[in-house]
Amino acid sequence: MDADLLLKKDKKIYKLLTISIFFIEFIYAMAGTVWGVILPHIMIHYNKTFTDIGAATSLFGVGSILSVLLLMFVLDKYKKLKVLCFILVVLIAGILIEGLAPPFYLLPISYFIFGSAGMALDTVNSAIIVDIYGDKSKTYINILQGMFGLGSIMGPLYAQFVISNGFQWNMPDIFSSIAVAVLFVIYTGIVIVNKGSINRLHHSSVLEKTGNELTIKQFISRKEVIVTICAVFLITGAQSLSNTWLVKYVKENLQAPAELATIAIMLYFMGITLSRFTTPLLYKKIEPLKLLMILITIGGATMFAVYMTDNPYIIPVGTFLGGLGIGTAIPVIISNLCSVFPGQSGRASSFAFLGMGISSVAFSFIGAAIITAFGLKVGIILASVLMLCSIPLFVKLYSYRKDQIHLDYQTECACENFENELHEQIK
């Protein structure tokens, strides 16, 4: 087949695979956010306390960390599009076990499996997007995480709709597992039918390697990796505190109506989702890391100011702007680290998501300890403080990025001069 026709065919297949991955991310987010709605039903059904549930759900974070550690060693060695097929099977099992679990001891197992598959899914999806789109991946990773945001908004609404129509608490999980299974069949069919395009993508990503492939030890010693993990840790901590305690703070500390608390958290997620879909439109004019610093500053400062007022009716304004500010942080961080290590996108994204997994586990304890000692207001203000504390780290990543671009330019000029000199000698 002509090379141009082959390239055109590959581009169509990669676009189709990208759309499939977007829908997989959307359904995964829906399945993961039904938890808040079905939690009271689970506690009544099993007659369990908050301590029991907390101990069970902690395995979600443990599974996340272990899966990312495993992916660091294996992901760049295999075809990521095929690895995703296996992850989807594991994800279906995790969701289905929760829905079918009559004995309580199966629930921790389902959380562990779901945590492992979910973090692996995010890591692999991001790495695939980087392999397909290269320097343009920031835009597509934002869209990918935007689909996660949409799914996060729809998940609680979907679960409430199912339960309010007379179904048992476990049916949202059953229906979600069926939806993932359908996507698995469609996606796997695309992968099997288009083996050639997938092999060429894998070959292309391998060719991007500079010949200086880094080991795990070398990776963790790089300053870009260390700063990235710290940035992800702070951003995830800010999101974790807001997600967990915002509604409780607005309802109990500010004595606001439950509807207002719901609006506040929904506007937070809407801000995150809107940010991920719209900010890529500005990337041609403003460098993504620089734009992120601006948004984080505005969002974090607004949230801090609003929380200090104790006025429940302006809280939604703060949460919306906070969501806009923090929304693109993770996509930009991931794509930025992957761009530093071409050909090792799997390992790079794994390190970024490792920071997320560690933060999720850490702040489930840190947040509870701070709130117990100092109260809900301090805990919720800490979310905005963490956002503002991440800004120096983004400044550092931006300076590394500029140095890298300058180095690439110097290398390109040196190669061009060498080729010119060689050409003159041959003449």
At 216-262, the pLDDT tens digits run: 788 888 888 899 999 999 999 998 888 778 877 888 888 888 778 87
Identify the weakest region by mean pLDDT among 74-78, 82-86, 101-105, 210-214.
Answer: 210-214
Q: What is the pLDDT of residue 295?
A: 94
Q: Are 126 and 3 members of one domain?
A: yes
pLDDT exceeds cutoff 80 at 83: yes
Q: Considering the entire predicted model, what is its pTM?
A: 0.74
Q: What is the pLDDT of residue 292?
A: 93
Mind listing the pLDDT tens digit for each residue in 385-406?
999 999 999 999 998 877 665 4
- Tokens encoding 121: 């899914």
- Tokens 């993770």 found at: 330
Identify the weakest region by mean pLDDT among 112-121, 199-208, 246-255, 357-366.
Answer: 199-208
> Which of 118, 356, 263 lies closest to 364, judged by CA?
356
pLDDT exceeds cutoff 60 at 415: no
Q: What is the pLDDT of residue 109?
A: 84
Give the C-alpha separation, 147 to 149, whole Å: 5
Q: Are 191 and 334 members of one domain?
A: no
Please give the radius of gyration of the chain, using alpha carbons only, rounded to the nearest integer.
Answer: 23
pLDDT exceeds cutoff 70 at 384: yes
Q: Are 219 and 202 members of one domain?
A: no
Q: Are 189 and 237 members of one domain?
A: no
pLDDT exceeds cutoff 50 at 372: yes
Q: Are 10 and 133 members of one domain?
A: yes
- Tokens 């808040």 found at: 36
pLDDT exceeds cutoff 80 at 343: no
Asked if residue 157 lies in contact with residue 365, where contact means CB atoms within 8 angstroms, the answer is no
In the chain, the amino acid numbered 199 is: N
Tell which phi-psi region holds residue 103, choosing left (phi > 0), alpha (psi between -120 and 50) or beta.
beta
Q: Are 161 and 309 members of one domain?
A: no
Task: Tell me the CATH number at 96.
Answer: 1.20.1250.20
In the chain, the amino acid numbered 375 is: G
pLDDT exceeds cutoff 90 at 345: no
Give the C-alpha separation, 109 to 69, whole Å: 19
Q: Range of 148's domain?
A: 1-207
Identify the DSSP state of 375.
Answer: -
The tally of CA atoms less than 13 A away on the side-chain side of residue 394 is 27
Q: Are 351 and 419 members of one domain?
A: yes
Q: What is the pLDDT of residue 396?
A: 92
Q: Are 252 and 354 members of one domain?
A: yes
pLDDT exceeds cutoff 70 at 209: no
- Identify the residue with better confidence: 88 or 169: 88
pLDDT exceeds cutoff 80 at 355: yes
Q: What is the pLDDT of residue 178?
A: 92
Mind listing the pLDDT tens digit for each residue in 186-196?
989 888 887 77
Domain count, the chain: 2
pLDDT exceeds cutoff 90 at 57: no
Q: Are 202 and 272 members of one domain?
A: no
Domain boundary among 176, 207, 238: 207
Mean pLDDT of 55-68: 77
Identify the DSSP state of 281.
Answer: G
Three-state secondary structure call for residue 47:
coil
- Tokens encoding 335: 């794509």
Q: Are 307 and 386 members of one domain?
A: yes
Mean pLDDT of 353-377: 82
Identify the weakest region by mean pLDDT among 106-115, 129-138, 141-150, 324-333.
Answer: 129-138
**pLDDT band at 294, cuts 50/70/90?**
very high
Give the C-alpha separation, 176 to 32, whole Å: 9
Q: Are 170 and 219 members of one domain?
A: no
Long-range CB pairs of 338-342 (<8 Å, 24+ gap) are 338/126, 338/127, 338/130, 338/137, 339/130, 339/135, 339/137, 339/404, 340/222, 340/224, 340/400, 340/404, 341/214, 341/219, 342/208, 342/209, 342/210
Domain boundary among 207, 224, 246: 207
Give the C-alpha separation, 303 to 282, whole Å: 24
Domain boundary among 182, 207, 232: 207
Q: Are 29 and 58 members of one domain?
A: yes
In the chain, the amino acid numbered 160 is: Q
CA distances from 151 to 30, 36, 269, 321, 417 (A): 5, 14, 10, 20, 51
Mean pLDDT of 260-276: 86
Mean pLDDT of 64-70: 83
Identify the weakest region by mean pLDDT among 5-14, 126-135, 299-308.
Answer: 5-14
